[in-house]
Amino acid sequence: MDPFKPIPVTVLTGYLGAGKTTLLNRILTEQHGLRIAVIVNEFGEIGIDNQLVIGADEEIFDMNNGCICCTVRGDLIRIIGELMERREDFDYLLIETTGLADPGPVIQSFFVDDTLARRTQLDAVITVIDSRHINEHWDSTEAQEQVAFADVIVLNKHDLVSAKALEELEQQVRGMNALATIHRAERCNIPLATVLNVKAFDLKNALAIEPDFLDESAHEHDQSVFSVALRENGMTDSVRFNRWLYDLVQEQGANIFRLKGILNMDDEARRFVVQGVHMTLDGRPGKPWQAGETRRNELVFIGRDLDEEKLLAGFRSCIDVATETATESKLAML
């Protein structure tokens, strides 16, 4: 390996719930001959995504509490700088941004920082689109920027919409970005050769989209979108949780852009992973709990007009704290 050769970087973006982590997991588990270091950025004070990434615990660098292109951009540059001290351990870098990130300033980092400019080579910006729900978010600046800056666009969940709706979506996307390669996918099942080492990024195209994107002050957010992070110890009662969550999405589903969580459901051996986009919910067993690991219940909502106190009260009504106390006492006796 040539230690002076710039390392290729893929920026993986897409609006909330589009399927970025699904694609990331596919990249990390399939055979492609690359050793990939991953940086995961989340919006909110609780990091969930790093727990959803499988088979790569030592490769995940979790950055939360803000947008990768704003409050923690300095951390991004710092982490990449630290990674470069272990250059011999990996040969590819993948950055998964929060669904609320404008990719312009992320791209900008690789050109305005001298170290990144010399030691990395931006390979492509990959944007994953939720074919079923994207029409509800076209008014978001971030969603539009993610499409506009993409080199490769994955129309994910195409099986959940009609052929006519998919054609209309593709035409709409093509109207916003005439240069990107577009792929249709179900659960992000696409050949990895279409997203890795594609050498698709072109600075001239980025400047054509946003002439001042190298201006570090040019960046705004949709301030009406925010996150609510909930964390509680104890055991989550599945019956109460399912009833609460069902009632919640019936009432607030349109305002819940994304929800995701790791739960100690019924004190099972595996953590329970719950995810949702609007009124579509999914839950399944995740990684096993490790011996001595504190079984926390962590739930993150991202959306508009969210009542934090009401969400917390509802979540707490599903938690059996007494179970955790009894479990800890039993372990102490052992």
Question: CA 196 to CA 147: how far, in whole Å?
Answer: 18
Closest CA relative to residue 156, chosen from 186, 194, 196 = 186
- Mean pLDDT of all residues in 316-326: 68
* Mean predicted lDDT score pLDDT of the chain: 78
Distances 39 to 26, 59, 131, 190, 194 between C-alpha atoms, Å:
16, 8, 25, 21, 20
Q: What percentage of the chain carries pLDDT values higher than 90?
A: 31
- Contacts of residue 156, defined as CB under 8 A and 6 or more positions apart, other chains included, come to 14, 18, 19, 22, 23, 128, 129, 130, 131, 185, 186, 187, 188
Taking the model in full, what pTM does it have?
0.66
pLDDT tier, 254 (very low <50, low <70, confident <90, very high otherwise): confident
Closest CA relative to residue 36, chosen from 56, 12, 64, 63 = 56
Q: Which amino acid is at 17?
A: G
Q: In what order do the strands lie in the sheet with 7-13?
A: 60-63, 36-41, 92-96, 7-13, 120-130, 152-156, 181-184
pLDDT tier, 51 (very low <50, low <70, confident <90, very high otherwise): low
pLDDT digits (tens, 9 = 90+) for 103-162: 766 777 777 778 788 889 889 999 999 999 998 888 887 888 888 888 899 999 999 999
pLDDT of residue 327 exceeding 50, the answer is no
- Residue ranges and CATH numbers for the domains of the chain are 7-209 (3.40.50.300), 226-333 (3.30.1220.10)
pLDDT digits (tens, 9 = 90+) for 191-247: 999 999 999 886 656 666 666 655 555 555 455 556 788 999 999 999 999 999 999
| Tokens read off for 328 | 């800890």
Burial of 8 (0-12, 13-18, 19+ CB in 10 A): buried
